[in-house]
Amino acid sequence: MGIFSKTCEYALRAVFFISQKTSEGGRVSIKDIAIGIDSPEHFLAKILQDLSKRGLVQSAKGPNGGFFVDETTLKRPVAEIVEAVDGNGIFVGCALGLKECSEKDPCPLHNQFKTIRDEIHSLLRTTNIGNFNEELILGINSLKR
């Protein structure tokens, strides 16, 4: 497994995909998202359902419905998706799973790990959901394979 859970990987890919399609001017169905990011369709549906409840994507039922992201959502940081799905463990948790990461009672890896962990947090807080639309449209970035 990578650094995120599979659920979170799908969530990120899906949101980037929806964001791109929205910026190209259209809604997109679960089916198309699943194809576009190469993920199991019904599992993805459940993930999007959850993100939708949290307002991290928008949805509309019925013909011509589908998922999209509004202006404000485009500006929200990617970290919010990760936090919604995997929690904030990756941002604040101890590398060795101690109850809490602390300067007072640090694990062996603490000093070096904290730096890296903060970089991850910073990266995901400073990039927002709509950041990659251009690159995706141009095909510079990929969301499948």
Partner DNA sequence: TGATATTAATACCTTTTTATCCTTTTTACA
Partner DNA sequence: TGTAAAAAGGATAAAAAGGTATTAATATCA
For residue 50, state whether it binds a copy of itself (rule: CB under 8 A).
no
Q: How far is the CB of 35 from ligand FES (least distance, A)?
A: 19
Residues 18, 29: Cα–Cα separation, whole Å? 9
Spell out, one character per residue from 51 to 90, where the chain touches DNA: x when CB under 7 A holds, - when not. -xx-----xxxxxxxxx-----------------------
Spell out, one character per residue from 23 to 62, where the chain touches ligand FES: x when CB under 6 A holds, - when not. ----------------------------------------
To which residue do tokens 């959502």 refer? 73
The strand pairing partners of 59, in sequence order, are 67
Residues 97, 80: Cα–Cα separation, whole Å? 22
The strand pairing partners of 128, in sequence order, are 77
For 86, counting Cβ atoms within 10 Å of its Cβ (0-12 exposed, 13-18 middle, 19+ buried), the class is middle
In the set 23, 86, 125, 128, which binds a copy of itself (CB under 8 A)? Answer: 86
Interface residues for ligand FES in 81-140 (CB under 6 A)? Answer: 94-96, 98, 101-102, 106-107, 109-110, 113-114
